[in-house]
């Protein structure tokens, strides 16, 4: 078993090892924050520079016809491939929050489902803000919030009972941001359907690293960001997914230029597009789309099944070593034990979590810099991005986490935190 879990052996067997060189990798640094912001692919800089210098600088407005008009659809079709959706079921643009707002309003306006909104205590807070805003806009009940006994995982039995008791429109994060808990998506979709309900899935902490299959799981709607495991860059365009059977029944609450059936006819009256494009609004962010395409292409080239498999191997290795070497030093595992219940980050906590993070990111001389992700009030998230991380990186990280406690290095660090951690 020890031989099988040896980092050097695991790295030798790694089919994705060659993809590391496709990213900018600062020297003497281990980056474990890809679950928050992915690394910069080397090709992205070239692609964006070409767009600025040639497509914009030289070709100017002619580039709309030559390059830009079809770019959103082109990237949407690639993201569709990643989640096993049809090409006409994905739209790229806007932010996750805006797309969730559009979908939430469309579902209420459709009249297909009860106007009861539901969420749970593990959902990303911003999603809940959007749902609460929708409830105020439509003068309906405040979203019902299903709570559990811990931050670690959902009580699926309780969740199903609440869906049965209060059918309606539910929003869940497929992978939760604190513990990386991975919901049994197919089981919940089936239960929602039986109870005349629908789940809007937030794929943000899953897309590009979890093998999402919207067909096999009978998923009807979803949203997600692209700047985490898809390495699209800060603020890169988000996406929405709507099953083709639902599109005719939905309309966007924002009637924008690019949502029009004939946007360049400049007609007086609004006529929505027949397809998912009706949810588009203003002019697309072309520079950001160009950057995003590189990250999506790399994920497709590597293969989502290969990425997901390495993610599981990394988290399994990490969980075992944490149990053996860190738990005796006061660390607490804050992620589910079972591999099939985890996404691609492992969460720890400690009485001195913030100070430990400072030691990792601002080490003493001759120590490797390690970038984790801290979330209040105690969570240290270790993001596992299979395209550019090695098992050796994880071994070094465990060594530093041990050293910081044993040497009491954490006592040298400040207790106060900046706004962004």
355-414 pLDDT per residue, tens: 999 999 999 878 999 999 998 889 999 999 999 999 999 999 999 999 999 999 999 887
Does the residue 417 lie in any domain?
no
- For residue 420, tell me if it sits in a domain: no
Instruction: Specify whether 175 is located in the same domain as 312.
Output: no
Q: Got the DSSP string for 287-326? A: HHHHHHHHHHHHHHHH-HHHHHHHHHHHHHHHHHHIIIII
Asked if residue 416 has pLDDT above 80, the reply is no
Whether 158 and 63 share a structural domain: yes
250 and 323, same domain (yes or no): no
pLDDT category, 3, cuts 50, 70, 90?
A: low
Q: Is the pLDDT of residue 9 over 50?
A: yes
Where b means 16+ CB within 10 Å and e means fewer, 328-339 reads: eeebbbbbbeee
Q: Is the pLDDT of residue 53 over 70?
A: yes
In the prediction, which pLDDT does 123 show?
98
As for how many domains the chain has, the answer is 2
Domain that residue 98 falls in: 44-302
Q: Report the CATH number that the domain containing residue 373 is assigned in CATH.
A: 3.90.1150.10
Task: Work out whether the CA dihedral 65, 66, 68, 73 comes out positive or negative.
Answer: positive
152 Cβ contact partners less than 8 Å away, ≥ 6 residues apart: 179, 181, 334, 335, 336
Same domain, 318 and 243: no
Which of 239, 267, 302 is the C-terminal boundary of a domain? 302
In this prediction, residues 302-310 reach a mean pLDDT of: 98
Last residue of a domain, one of 273, 302, 331: 302
Residues 193 and 265 grouped into a single domain: yes
> Does 373 map to a domain?
yes
Residues 162 and 211 placed together within one structural domain of the fold: yes
Q: Which CATH number characterizes residue 135's domain? A: 3.40.640.10
- Give the DSSP per-residue string, 65-79: IIIITTHHHHHHHHH
One domain, residues 296 and 270 = yes
234-249 pLDDT, tens digit per residue, is 999 999 999 999 999 9
**Alpha carbon distance 145, 128 (integer Å):** 9
Residue 337 falls inside a structural domain: yes
Is the predicted pLDDT of residue 59 greater than 70, yes or no?
yes
Kindly state the average pLDDT of the residues 302-325: 97
State whether 319 and 292 are in the same domain: no
The angle, 0 to 180 degrees and rounded to 10, between the axes of the packed helices 304-321 and 286-302 is: 80
Residue 375 included in any domain? yes
Inside any domain, residue 36: no
- Which residue among 272, 302, 332 closes a domain? 302
pLDDT tens sequence across 105-155 = 999 999 999 999 999 999 999 999 999 999 999 999 999 999 999 889 999
Closest CA to 202 of 267, 122, 279, 147: 122
For residue 1, the model assigns a pLDDT of: 45
Q: Are residues 67 and 209 in the same domain?
A: yes
Indicate whether 292 belongs to any domain.
Answer: yes
State whether 249 and 395 are in the same domain: no
- Let me know if residue 70 belongs to a domain: yes
Question: What distance in Å separates the CA atoms of residue 380 and residue 356, rounded to the nearest whole number?
Answer: 9
On whether both 113 and 235 belong to a single domain, the answer is yes
Same-domain status, 11 and 99:
no
Average pLDDT, the chain: 96
pLDDT score, position 365: 75
């Amino acid at each position: 078993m020890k031989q099988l879990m040896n980092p050097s052996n695991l790295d030798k067997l790694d089919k994705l090892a060659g993809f590391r060189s496709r990213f900018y990798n600062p020297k003497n640094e281990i980056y474990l924050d890809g679950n928050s912001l992915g690394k910069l692919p080397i090709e992205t800089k070239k692609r964006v520079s070409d767009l600025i210098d040639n497509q914009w600088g030289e070709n100017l407005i002619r580039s709309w016809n030559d390059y830009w008009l079809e770019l959103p659809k082109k990237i949407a079709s690639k993201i569709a491939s990643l989640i096993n959706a049809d090409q006409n079921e994905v739209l790229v643009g806007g932010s996750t929050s805006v797309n969730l707002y559009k979908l939430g309003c469309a579902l209420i306006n459709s009249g297909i489902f009860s106007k009861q909104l539901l969420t749970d205590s593990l959902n990303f807070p911003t999603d809940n803000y959007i749902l609460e805003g929708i409830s105020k806009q439509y003068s309906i009940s405040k979203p019902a919030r299903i709570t559990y006994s811990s931050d670690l995982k959902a009580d699926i039995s309780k969740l199903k009972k609440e869906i049965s008791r209060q059918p309606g429109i539910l929003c869940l994060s497929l992978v939760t941001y604190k513990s990386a808990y991975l919901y049994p998506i197919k089981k919940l979709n089936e239960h929602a359907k039986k109870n005349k309900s629908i789940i809007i899935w937030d794929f943000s902490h899953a897309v590009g690293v979890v093998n999402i299959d919207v067909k096999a799981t009978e998923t009807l709607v979803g949203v997600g960001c692209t700047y985490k495991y898809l390495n699209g860059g800060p603020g890169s365009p988000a996406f929405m997914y709507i099953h083709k059977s639902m599109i005719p029944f939905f309309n966007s609450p924002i009637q924008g230029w690019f949502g029009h059936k004939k946007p360049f006819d400049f007609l007086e009256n609004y006529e929505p597009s027949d397809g998912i494009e009706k949810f588009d609004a203003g002019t697309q962010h072309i520079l950001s789309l160009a950057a995003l395409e590189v990250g999506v292409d790399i994920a497709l080239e590597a293969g989502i099944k290969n990425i997901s498999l390495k993610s599981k191997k990394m988290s399994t290795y990490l969980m075992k070593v944490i149990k053996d070497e860190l738990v005796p030093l006061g660390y607490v595992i804050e992620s589910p034990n079972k591999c099939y219940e985890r996404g691609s980050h492992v969460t720890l906590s400690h009485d001195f979590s913030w100070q430990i993070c400072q030691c990792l990111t601002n080490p003493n001389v001759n120590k490797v810099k390690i970038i984790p992700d801290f979330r209040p009030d105690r969570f240290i998230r270790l993001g596992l991005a299979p395209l550019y991380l090695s098992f050796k990186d994880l071994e070094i990280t465990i060594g530093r986490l041990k050293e910081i406690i044993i040497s009491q290095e954490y006592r040298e660090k400040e207790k106060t935190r900046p706004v962004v951690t």
